[in-house]
A and B are shown apart, each in its own frame.
Chain A
């Protein structure tokens, strides 16, 4: 069998569908999903829980089979060339618990023995900055170290394509940074990475392109900057009004200077604006005229979360989970 011609696509997915039997009829976890991931890029998958991200990624990793649709990974198909694909990919899964009483060297070494070609154990541990822990037991590692270990195990076969499933969930900021460095390093070596994440800053920082997935489909695709700019404005002005007045129609604010979009957000409002220095005075003047005092006002820069809200009217993360996206000051980066 000759070398497969994959063009410059590491992954090609066409009209992928996956359904599960459900209580009230089949559940369409993946509902006509199309995707192309280019070689060498870091590709992000963003979407709320239950959107079909994990199912899609599992199908790409060969851990699940599609109901219908076309899947090509590294120019090959799972049905006929499974072991070839497995030799060339690395994956991290959420919540993998490695055997506790193995040392890191033993564990990574065991995985290394599964691949015909790969990296040296010491080298791979060094990549994730765990070389000093080569002789410690897995059970003695902190949470952040265990997640770096999972990445090391994924790397030991020197994969062309890497699948990282929420690799920094639950980590402290320093560990997150360390893992980000590993991923950036991978990119610089020409590896392709598919990153599933629900952290906007992570997607914006690491990914060349992002696919936003909702209800089993890709609803937006492009570089983070691209997607954000489609909103038309780079800033969000959030505010809330004092008093127990009947709810105000957000549409009232949409005609103010430089305001591109206006919606209700929590107990207040969020305006997408192009130029805050024009929109805010306009808003204040308007409220003054209407006799509606402000309870609070903040501005922040637009994130992929806002892109998602604009597309679907819902949030990527439920309000009850983690911090509310409209918290001030969380978007400080650059």
Chain B
């Protein structure tokens, strides 16, 4: 049996190294799972609570109270959003408004208009005002000339958890590429291992290839764990025939991040330097790329930058495939593959030119 198999032996060494580090196992599998469970639970889709409102106690209170309480009983019966009413002296009601304990205070008046007291920059305040005013006006005989009907949206795939799971998958891929490749290389350089390797006949490309292959190997459980969590625990709608496309996008994404990791590690001589660089690269993507909330929330003027980031593209594609059944010729997916490939090729080309083995 030939003993000469540098690529294979390097590849298995990388695999062994990974699963022998319990801390890494936590960060790659445990942490995203805990995050998904926690955030999924916190942002569960629920019907909105009853409208909360404080009513000031004065001679005109009774009329308003009657209207609102009648509405609430009817709403409870019909299992709709009702009104949670508190009747308080003015000073106390204003105090509660100030401290955020209530979004809206109603000051009825015997002869003048009803006063709504609220802070319009708080979203629940404007909704409360609109809801209460509708109740009062309708009760007093307001007519709505235009006929309307409501179609309630109740499709899976639009919940927060559906948004989050692809985000966590993408984030995991980013971390694996940057830390798994970059940090490893810098540690090897510090420990003079890279230098030691270059004194042997080991082909340098085999060394780097083994790292990439190990990275791609680990992509399988990385994606599988989170995807299974999403599909089997949270009942994400997922067409299994899209799995190949998810795999393709993930592979290209992993290569892009591995390339960036290689680039960041190409000359760093200390773990402090490379950690600093990694954080510098990762933090903007954690914030801007649409990991926890949509990237579109940021102003249009920033979108050119945000959409160029590799994680943004990866998440766009993952969500399009997993939530909208997009195919490979879907513009979002095609664009993502293009931009991620550019990141991968660009960073590898530069990194290999400047990589320091000593």
Taking Cβ atoms with an 8 Å cutoff, the residues of A that contact B are 61-63, 83, 86-87, 89, 91, 93-99, 101-102, 106, 109-116, 118, 153, 157
Q: Chain A contacts of B10 at CB under 8 A?
A: 110, 113
User: Are the CB atoms of B200 and A93 closer together than 8 Å?
Assistant: no
With A102-B13, A102-B17 known to touch, is A112 a contact of B200 (CB < 8 Å)? no
CA distance A106 to B358 in the complex (A): 24
B232 CB-CB contact with A under 8 Å:
no
* A106 lies within 8 A of B16 (CB): yes
Q: Is the CB of A93 within 8 A of B4?
A: no
Residue pairs across A and B with Cβ atoms less than 8 A apart, 27 shown, are A61-B199, A63-B198, A63-B358, A87-B201, A89-B199, A91-B196, A93-B192, A93-B195, A96-B192, A97-B191, A98-B191, A99-B13, A101-B16, A106-B13, A109-B9, A110-B10, A111-B200, A112-B3, A113-B6, A113-B9, A114-B4, A114-B6, A114-B202, A115-B3, A115-B4, A115-B201, A157-B201
Q: Which residues of B contact A (CB under 8 A)?
A: 3-6, 8-10, 13, 16-17, 20-21, 190-193, 195-196, 198-202, 358
Q: Please, which residues of chain A bring their CB within 8 A of the CB of B191? A: 95-98
- Contact (A83, B201) CB under 8 Å given A96-B192, A97-B193, A98-B191: yes
Give Cα A96–Cα B200 distance, bound, in whole angstroms. 14
B196 lies within 8 A of A93 (CB): yes
- The tally of CB-CB contacts under 8 A between chains A and B is 74
Contact B199 A91 (CB under 8 A): yes
Q: Are B202 and A96 in contact (CB under 8 A)?
A: no
- Say whether B193 contacts A110, CB under 8 Å: no
Cβ contacts under 8 Å, B193 to chain A:
96-99
Q: How far is the CA of A112 from the CA of B9 in the complex (A)?
A: 9
Once bound together, how far apart are the Cα atoms of A272 and B29, in whole Å? 71
Q: A96-B191, A115-B201, A118-B3 are in contact. List 9 more A-B contacts (CB 8 A).
A: A61-B199, A96-B195, A97-B190, A101-B21, A102-B16, A109-B9, A113-B9, A116-B4, A153-B196
Query: Complex formed: what's the CA distance from A110 to B135 in Å?
Result: 77
Question: Smallest distance from the beta carbon of A87 to chain B beta carbons, Å?
Answer: 5
A44 to B227, CA, bound (A): 61
Once A102-B16, A113-B3 are accepted as A-B contacts, the answer to whether A96 and B199 lie under 8 Å apart by CB is no
How far apart sit A113 and B192, CA to CA, in the bound complex (Å)? 19
A102-B17, A109-B9 given as contacts; is B199 within 8 A of A114 (CB)? no
Contacts of A115 in B (CB 8 A): 3-4, 200-201
Q: How far is the CA of A4 from the CA of B4 in the complex (A)?
A: 24
CA distance A130 to B21 in the complex (A): 25
Residues of B within 8 A of A95 (CB): 191-192
B15 to chain A, nearest CB (A): 11
CA distance A245 to B165 in the complex (A): 86
Given contacts A93-B196, A96-B193, A109-B9, contact A114 B201 (CB under 8 A): yes
Nearest-CB residue, chain B, relative to A61: B199
Residue of B nearest to A91 (CB): B199
Report how far A106 CA is from B20 CA in the complex, Å: 13
The interface centre, meaning the residue of A93, A98, A110 with most chain B CB atoms within 10 A of its CB, is A110
Contacts of B20 in A (CB 8 A): 101
Nearest to B20 among chain A residues (CB) is: A101
**B7 — nearest CB in chain A belongs to which residue?**
A113
Q: Which residues of B are found within 8 Å of A86, using beta-carbon distances? A: 199-201
CA A121 – CA B248 in complex, angstroms? 40
Query: Are A97 and B192 in touch, CB under 8 angstroms?
Result: yes
Contact A113 B4 (CB under 8 A): yes
- By beta carbon, the residue of chain A nearest B207 is A114
B16 contacts across to A, CB distance below 8 A: 101-102, 106
Query: Which 5 residue pairs spanning A and B have beta carbons closest together?
Result: A97-B191, A113-B9, A114-B202, A101-B20, A86-B201
A61 CA / B199 CA spacing, docked (Å): 7
Contacts of A83 in B (CB 8 A): 201
Minimum CB–CB distance for B250 against chain A, Å: 27
Q: For residue A54, give the distance in angstroms from its CB to the closest CB of chain B.
A: 12
Q: Find the A residue at minimum CB distance from B4.
A: A116
The smallest beta-carbon distance between A162 and chain B, in angstroms, is 11
- Complex Cα–Cα for A93 and B195 (A): 9
- Which residue of B4, B9, B195 is within 8 Å of A110 (Cβ)? B9
Chain B residues, Cβ within 8 Å of A153: 196
CA distance A63 to B16 in the complex (A): 28
Residue of B nearest to A99 (CB): B17
| Chain B minimum-CB-distance residue to A86 | B201
**Are the CB atoms of A101 and B192 closer together than 8 Å?**
no
- A62 and B199 contacting across the interface, CB-CB below 8 Å: yes
With a cutoff of 8 Å between Cβ atoms, the chain B residues found around residue A87 in the complex are 201
Measured between beta carbons, the chain B residues less than 8 angstroms from A61 are 199
Please tell me which one of the listed residues A102, A106, A109, A114 contacts residue B200 in the complex, with CB atoms under 8 A apart: A114
Taking CB atoms, residues of chain A closer than 8 Å to B195 are: 63, 93, 96
Which residues of chain A are near B6, meaning CB under 8 Å?
113-114
Q: Return A113 CB to nearest CB of chain B, in Å.
A: 4
The chain B residue sitting closest to A83, CB to CB, is B201
Interchain nearest-CB distance for B44 vs A (Å): 41
How many whole Å from B282's CB to the nearest CB in chain A? 25
**Chain A contacts of B192 at CB under 8 A?**
93-97
